[in-house]
Amino acid sequence: MLKNLKNIVVVSLSTVGSRVLGLVRDILIFAALGASAWNDAFILAFTLPNLFRRLLGEGALTSAMVPIFSDVLQRAGRSEAFAFFNQVLLRLLLILSALVVSGMIVFGSLAQSGLLSDRWALGAELAVVVLPYMIFICLAAIISAGLNLLGRFAVAASTPMLLNLAMIAALVAGMWLSDDQARIVYWLCGGVLVGGLLQLLLPAWDLARQGWRPRVEKRASTEMSELWLLFLPGLMGAAILQVNILVSRLLAYSLDESAVSVLYLASRLMELPLGIFTVAVATVFFPLLARAVSDNDDHAFAGALTQGMRLVVGISLPAGVGLVILGEPILELFRWGAFSTQNAAQTIPLIAIYGIGLPFYSAATFATRGLHACKDMKTPVRVAGLCLLVNLISGLVLMQFYGASGLAAGNVLAAIVQSACLWRALSKHRSEVGFSHLRGAFAKVLCAGLGMGLFCFIGHALVLSFDLADKLNAAVIVGLFVPGGAALYFGLLYVLKFEELDALAGMLRRFIPKRKA
């Protein structure tokens, strides 16, 4: 447990750095572009390579490769595992190259055809520029998964910082050289490409230090056959989830010129705690779950799964409460330059909606990894198909009455359905897995979260009563009640004897140097 928590802390700290830089990047983007047609077009274009990243990189392919790589590593050692790894990389590179070239031709033709309105043509034009990022990020995701299976988490977790640094540098250069939003957007696209290349080179260098050498492996293998059997249904499930995101953004793009931007910003704030902790837990526990399945150790699998789920919910629930109550002052820190008060007012209710959904997004993310570790790719596909229908129907209905807020509510409703269905499927896979093992921990988390929420609500109201300037209000509230609320929450968990908190405290005591007598 101690080693697992150490790895989670390593991944979490790296992710904190990345997310902080990501927030700086987003502040600069919204300061330069606001919630404008240029920003909407960039977000829509950037969605495409990220969609394939989650399909062919860290999504279906990684989930199919990790259990097989783990089996080969346990059975035959690193040499054979790296040979299998090279087979996967070669095939992925060929597929990605074909997709990128085809996509650039299609979107370039559409942008010049005159068949699209100006807004859609602009999105297609920017898509041509950023599509090559797909190759870099998908290969980087597979290489990072290989590092994680070898027990190396720090380098892989830190690579997103390189993307954010490259985009920040490009934005600063673009804003310094010109105030034309068109030129700034193209500088931003260039930063994406440079950052993606850096994201690929760093983990590849670290994996090479572990003995990997890129080679052309043409020979077929039983492992590759097994990979395709797992990958194809996994691809369908991941595709449905990504279509979910794309559908929401396309619907938002049809609403008005700012809907995509405000939905994106609200979801980015929700993804901050999701990425810092939930993804960190999933990253560290996924190889453990796969190894337990390889060893046919049901008890170890159930123990790791319930432990990971308690950690995931233990962090995501208070983070969601914080977004609901403190979303407005947090967002005020983004209101610079072209990002107006009206844009902020559109975004605040979306943050609250996503805050409510955060624990369900987190639970669904971790439960999906549990099923993938069991080599069950079909159940997530069926659940994803159901969630696509829930999201599409609820989004279409609710957007008629509530606009972008209705789309966000549809996303959250789909996440609730997804988390419930996936956990039910996991409990069928392993008899030792069930909600009864989580009920006590969840009750403690809920009580501590409510106490923290009450503290933040009262503190927020108290600071507002002093009638300070907007930015000063936001800085005081965020500076005092984010860390203060977190301290109170963990203090309440300590009083309630939350199991994973005791383990974390033990790890911290081990790393704090003892005083010499």
Tell me what pLDDT residue 5 has.
55
User: Residue 130, class by beta-carbon neighbours within 10 Å (0-12 exposed, 13-18 middle, 19+ buried)?
Assistant: buried
What pLDDT, on the 0 to 100 scale, is given for residue 510? Answer: 42
Closest CA to 426 of 316, 294, 315, 293: 293
What is the domain count for the chain? 1
Helix H segments across 333-377? 341-373
Is residue 371 a contact partner of residue 290, using CB atoms and an 8 Å limit? no
Q: Which of 110, 170, 103 is nearest to 131 (CA)?
A: 103
Residue 517 lies in a domain: no
pLDDT in tens, the chain (517 residues): 445 555 556 665 666 677 778 778 888 888 888 767 788 888 888 888 887 776 665 666 776 777 787 778 877 778 888 888 888 888 888 988 999 999 999 999 988 887 877 778 888 899 999 999 999 988 988 888 888 777 777 777 778 889 999 999 999 999 888 888 889 999 999 999 999 999 999 999 988 888 888 888 766 667 777 777 777 666 666 666 666 667 777 788 777 667 777 887 888 788 777 766 777 777 778 777 878 877 788 788 888 888 888 888 888 899 899 999 998 888 887 676 667 777 778 888 999 999 999 999 888 888 888 887 887 877 887 888 888 889 889 988 998 888 888 999 998 999 899 999 998 888 876 666 766 667 888 899 999 999 999 999 999 999 988 888 888 888 899 889 988 988 899 899 888 888 777 654 444 444 344 443 3
Domain for residue 24, yes or no? yes
Helices (H), 432-469: 439-464
Residue 346 included in any domain:
yes
Q: Which residues 6+ apart lie within 8 Å of 153 measured at CB?
A: 7, 10, 11, 14, 147, 283, 284
What pLDDT score was predicted for residue 14? 65
**Is residue 516, in this structure, part of any structural domain at all?**
no
Q: Is residue 512 part of a domain?
A: no
Given a contact cutoff of 8 angstroms between Cβ atoms, the answer to whether 137 and 55 are in contact is no
69 is a domain residue: yes
CA angle 508, 164, 95 (to 5 degrees): 105
Neighbours of 352 (CB within 10 A): 17
Q: Which domain holds residue 299?
A: 2-507
User: Which residue has 């983070």 as its token pair?
Assistant: 319
Does some domain include residue 514? Answer: no
Contact residues for 103 (Cβ-Cβ < 8 A; gap 6+)? 48, 127, 128, 131
Helical segments of 178-278, H only: 181-209, 222-255, 259-273
pTM of the full structure? 0.68
Burial label, 114 (beta-carbon count in 10 A; 0-12, 13-18, 19+)? exposed
Distance CA 139, CA 160 (A): 14
Contacts of 197 (CB under 8 A, 6+ apart): 136
C-alpha dist (Å) from residue 458 to 6, 223, 464, 493: 35, 58, 10, 20
Instruction: Note whether residue 95 is domain-resident.
Output: yes
